[in-house]
Amino acid sequence: MFKKHVHKNLGLALLLVAVFLPFISGAHPNDPMLEKMSRTDVFFVYLQLGFTHIIPLGFDHILFILSLFLLSPKLKTIIWQATAFTIAHSITLGFAMYDMVSAPPHIIEPIIALSIMFVALENVITDKLKPTRILIVFAFGLIHGLGFAGVLKDLGLPKREFFNALISFNVGVELGQIAIILMAWFLFGKWFNQKPWYRTRIVYPLSILIAIVALYWTIERAFFP
């Protein structure tokens, strides 16, 4: 009973963080401002930037997380997947920010769209969460990290607090993902996932819609960048 109560409160706390975090800071820092900020300011500014890169700016990443959620809307399962995704994109994002790896946006962005379409179509093809899903999510996370790198390079990172800003940005992204998961869970996952019509009325139509949008993005990004 106690464990259930703790999990419930934790979920509500994370949801509140998700709702109010975007209002902490509304401005993107520029280069002169970066070097003047304290360590605490850097942490919270980049935490907010990571969060808002998902909500409301990262519509493609929102659809990716929703696609992961639809197949198995259990909080523990989906949060493990989201965490694997965050770890993976943190790796390539860090390498990219240290100029150890790079990839042109006109290649990365269509692949990101394809990853969304792949996961959405997998929801239609299979009705069970396979162990390979987390490996697929990790692989796609490596690709998405290169996409995040373009955003961070445009924003800039303070030289004195480079690592601090990088970590807090990733934490903000993770909080954004958890917010999406909790909202989806409260909207339909909690109430309908055990219903016999869950797949036909929720998983199929939403996954097909996401796949169509992702296909459009793939074509647009590949041929009309």
* pLDDT at position 9: 40
Q: Report the half-sphere exposure of 87 (CA within 13 A, side-chain side).
A: 11
Q: Is residue 154 pLDDT above 80, yes or no? A: no
Average pLDDT (112-117) is 96
Q: Is residue 16 pLDDT above 70, yes or no? A: no
Cα dihedral 20/26/32/33 (nearest 10): -40
Rg of the Cα atoms in the chain = 18
Q: Is residue 212 pLDDT above 90, yes or no? A: yes
* pLDDT at position 32: 61
What is the Cα 102 distance to its own chain's centre? 20
* pLDDT at position 128: 85
Q: Is residue 10 pLDDT above 50, yes or no? A: no
- pLDDT band (50, 70, 90) for residue 150: confident
Q: What is the 3-state secondary structure (H, E, C) of 124-172?
A: HHCCCCCCHHHHHHHHHHHHHHHHHHHHHHHHCCCCCCHHHHHHHHHHH
Q: In angstroms, rounded to a whole number, what is the distance separating the alpha carbons of residues 8 and 3?
A: 9
Q: pLDDT tens-digit profile of 172-207? A: 999 999 999 999 999 988 899 889 999 999 999 999
Q: Where are the beta strands (DSSP E) in the chain?
A: none
Task: Enumerate the domain spans of the chain.
Answer: 2-223
Q: pLDDT tens-digit profile of 46-61? A: 999 999 989 988 899 9
Structure tokens at 74: 């259990």
What is the model's pTM? Answer: 0.81
* pLDDT at position 35: 66
